[in-house]
């Protein structure tokens, strides 16, 4: 049976990781977070991790070729699940086009794109909270969780990813959700969008 393919998009700090985990479990999707895979590779000091680290630590996108390879092997490996939920991928037009091509070969397509809309000032206050939490719990914050790098990540989002949001909107695939609400309320809104569509 054809697999479903859903993309979760949103600016850095929009809450994609939290929602993606809930969606994947509720809809029996394989959750693919390119950011999580890359962070694991960095902590293992693998070749991929070493190549990605410099880009990640300055808030830039890593070269698309590295990410596309990761995605291709995850899709090909296949799972018994109903579909895939992409979190943090695609980040630009090039990645989206390659994904569409990969799916076309399988007679599948991107079914829907969920966009978490969160105002910029909220993103900054969430990152501050994350940093404070890491300080009080004495845990290691994400290397890119600081105000300067958030600014860089936001710029990259506006430059590379926002045009992709508009592209999906023009293709009638985009579903926008107000991400400035409690996580459980955001999830309820997501379910309303997804039910009957995937």
- Work out whether strand 83-87 and strand 4-9 pair parallel, antiparallel, or are unpaired: parallel
Give the Cβ contact number of residue 128 at 10 Å: 14
Minimum CB distance to ligand AMP smaller for 98 or for 193: 98
Task: Specify whether the CB–CB gap between 82 and 28 falls below 8 A.
Answer: yes
Nearest to 74 by CA among 32, 13, 127: 32
The reply to whether 7 sits near ligand AMP by the rule CB under 6 A is no
Identify the DSSP state of 195: T
Pick one of 4, 5, 91, 126: the residue that binds ligand AMP (CB under 6 A).
91
The reply to whether 35 sits near ligand AMP by the rule CB under 6 A is yes
The reply to whether 19 sits near ligand AMP by the rule CB under 6 A is no
Q: Is 16 designated active site?
A: yes
The reply to whether 10 sits near ligand AMP by the rule CB under 6 A is no
Question: Which residue in 3, 142, 169, 173 is the catalytic one?
Answer: 142
Nearest to 61 by CA among 153, 165, 163, 164: 153
The reply to whether 88 sits near ligand AMP by the rule CB under 6 A is yes
The reply to whether 126 sits near ligand AMP by the rule CB under 6 A is no
The reply to whether 89 sits near ligand AMP by the rule CB under 6 A is yes
Ranked by CB distance to ligand AMP, the top (closest) residue is 35
Task: Specify whether the CB–CB gap between 167 and 96 falls below 8 A.
Answer: yes
The reply to whether 68 sits near ligand AMP by the rule CB under 6 A is no
Question: Which residue in 4, 39, 126, 153 is the catalytic one?
Answer: 153
The reply to whether 48 sits near ligand AMP by the rule CB under 6 A is no
Task: Specify whether the CB–CB gap between 99 and 168 falls below 8 A.
Answer: no
Q: Is 142 designated active site?
A: yes
Identify the DSSP state of 176: E
In sequence order, the 6+-apart residues with CB closer than 8 A to the CB of 54 are none
Residues lying near ligand AMP in the complex (CB under 6 A):
12, 34-35, 38, 55-56, 59-62, 67, 88-89, 91, 95, 144, 153
Catalytic residues: 16, 91, 130, 142, 153
């Amino acid at each position: 049976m054809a697999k479903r393919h859903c993309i979760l998009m949103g600016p850095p700090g929009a809450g994609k990781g939290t929602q993606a985990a809930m969606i994947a479990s509720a809809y029996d999707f394989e959750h693919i977070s390119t950011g999580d895979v890359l962070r694991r590779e960095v902590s293992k000091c693998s070749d991929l991790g070493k190549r990605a680290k410099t880009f990640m630590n300055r808030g830039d996108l890593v070269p698309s070729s590295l990410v596309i390879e990761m995605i291709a092997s995850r899709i090909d490996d296949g799972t018994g699940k109903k579909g895939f939920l992409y979190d943090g991928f695609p980040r630009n037009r090039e990645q989206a086009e390659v994904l569409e091509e990969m799916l076309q070969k399988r007679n599948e397509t991107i079914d829907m794109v969920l966009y978490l809309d969160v105002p910029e000032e909220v993103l900054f206050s969430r990152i501050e909270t994350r940093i404070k939490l890491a300080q009080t719990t004495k845990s290691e914050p994400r290397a890119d969780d600081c105000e300067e790098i958030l600014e860089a990540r936001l710029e990259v989002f506006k430059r590379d990813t926002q045009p992709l949001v508009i592209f999906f909107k023009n293709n009638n695939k985009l579903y926008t959700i107000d991400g400035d609400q409690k996580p459980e309320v955001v999830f309820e809104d997501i379910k309303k969008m997804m039910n009957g569509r995937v």
